[in-house]
Amino acid sequence: MMPSRHAGAFLEIDLKAIRENYRTLAARLGRSGCAAVVKADAYGLGAATVPLALAAEGATTFFVAHLDEAIALRWAVPMAEIFVLNGLTCGAEAEFVANRVRPVLNSLGQVDAWAAAARRAGKALPAAIQLDSGMSRLGLPEAEVAVLAEEPGRLGGVALRLVMSHLACAERQDDPMNREQLARFEAGRRRLPAAPASLANSSGVFLGPDFHFDLARPGAAIYGLASVAGAANPMRPVVRLLARIVQVREIGPGARVGYGGTFTASRPRRIATVAVGYADGYLRALSPSATAHFDGRPVPLVGTVSMDTATFDVTGVPDAVEGGLIELIGPHHPIDRLAAEAGTIGYEMLTSLGNRYARAYAGAGTERLIA
């Protein structure tokens, strides 16, 4: 969608901040490598744009969730190493090979299928293997690792590029699960042929060098989200969301606002309606208690968020008039705080942002849309 002056809302994505965040993480990792996770449309920020910025910053390894995401990404970053986290889907071997995409093998069945594909291709085929170190989500359970250890021939034809696992509780630094998973990962990987190792997501990077191994796989921190619960966030904010005021009305005592009439004015109020609603990822669960800002001054959300609109109390902000912009996410209100107001996490907020915004990429050489 082209940026438009009459758009109902503007989403500004700061590519310079994305690059700086990647640099910050890479520096923290020292000699360990820093991949970039760009699944789910680069966390909603644009799979066509964000990976290019990261590649320009030196990223050479990318992770996505689906093969189709990998195939789309292949065009953007022709030389990069691309891994598919959700694994090898049955029958898709030829497409992985044709697009030079590496599956993360998540089960013994997937290992066997990839080895068979290698025999058919007549050459070794690169892949990652994921071990389940305690999350019970994806990856080989201990029993399957034991089988591989006893029958190493089953890995014939698999060029093992990475042994990886995923942390379940890394944002809570004192959670004992972190060290338990680390121990299980180390034990599991010793049973497999030697290969580079990868355990840390964004939060894992902040758990320290024991968790870094050869390659870290941050996503969230690149996009400015907080990685450590209860600590100041060192990453630069990446997104700013501004919504246009499409109507302002004066209401008297007793008047109700929005679906269900959940807000009742106890005294005269000015209510600004903006052109963003839950269809745009401004979650209904934010009702009734989120905060936004007009020109740096807080304006509370009132009533229930509708599909295409939300209403804010601008009684104390006389210059908030039709055509003005209310900042829903930005320097005054980080996305993690907004997410907390909805009872969710920044990840969900970010990936829920819809497609109806006029999007502008700052720091891409394109003109900044919003002053």
Ligand X SMILES: *Cc1c(COP(=O)(O)O)cnc(C)c1O
Residues that bind ligand X (CB under 6 A): 37, 39, 85, 166, 201-203, 217-221
- The answer to whether 39 is a known catalytic residue is yes
CB closer to ligand X out of 217 and 333: 217
Tell me the CA distances in angstroms from 211 to 45, 198, 215, 225, one per residue in order: 27, 8, 10, 20
72 versus 279: smaller Cβ distance to ligand X: 72
The residues near 208 (Cβ < 8 Å, ≥ 6 apart) are none
> Least CB distance from residue 108 to ligand X, whole Å?
19
Q: Pick the closer one to ligand X by CB: 239 or 299.
A: 239
Minimal distance in Å, beta carbon 219 to ligand X? 3
* Strand arrangement of the beta sheet that strand 158-164 belongs to: 36-37, 61-64, 81-84, 101-105, 125-130, 158-164, 197-198
Minimal distance, residue 166 CB to ligand X, in Å = 4
Q: Give the nearest distance from C-beta 333 to ligand X in angstroms.
A: 21
CA 251 to CA 169: how far, in whole Å? 47
Measured from each CB, the residue nearest to ligand X is: 219
Whole-number Å distance between alpha carbons of 318 and 177: 51
Smallest Cα–Cα separation from 37: which of 65, 4, 6?
65
- What amino acid is encoded at 63 in this protein? F
Least distance (Å) between residue 247 CB and ligand X: 38
Nearest of 233, 307, 296 to residue 273 by alpha carbon: 307
| Shortest spacing between CB 42 and ligand X, in angstroms | 11
Residue 58, CA atoms < 13 Å, CB-side half-sphere: 11
Tokens standing for 158?
A: 């698999």
Residue whose C-alpha is closest to residue 103's, from 125, 121, 81, 88:
88
* Residue 350 Cβ vs ligand X, minimum distance, rounded to whole Å: 10
Judged by CB, which is closer to ligand X: 21, or 315? Answer: 21
Query: Do residues 301 and 35 touch, judged by C-beta distance below 8 A?
Result: no
- Considering beta carbons, is residue 203 or 309 the nearer one to ligand X? 203
| For ligand X, the closer CB: 53 or 220 | 220
Residue 366 DSSP class: S
Are 344 and 225 in contact, with CB atoms under 8 Å apart?
Answer: no
| Residue in this structure with the two tokens 């002056």, named with its chain if needed | 5
Q: Which residue has the tokens 């944002």?
A: 171
Per the annotation, the verdict on 259 as an active-site residue is: yes
Catalytic residue, chosen from 22, 43, 223, 259, is 259
Give the nearest distance from C-beta 140 to ligand X in angstroms: 14
Q: Which residue among 16, 22, 39, 123 is the active-site one?
A: 39
d(CA 61, CA 42) in angstroms, rounded, equals 14
Structure token digits, residue 293? 């800002």
Q: Please, which residue, 185 or 294, has the CB nearer to ligand X? A: 185
Indicate the residue among 39 and 102 with the shorter CB distance to ligand X.
39
Nearest residue to 62 (alpha-carbon basis) of 45, 42, 44, 46:
42
Specify the 3-state DSSP secondary structure of 277.
coil
> Which residues have CB under 8 Å from 237's CB, separation 6+?
14, 17, 224, 330, 331, 334, 335
Residues with a known catalytic role: 39, 259
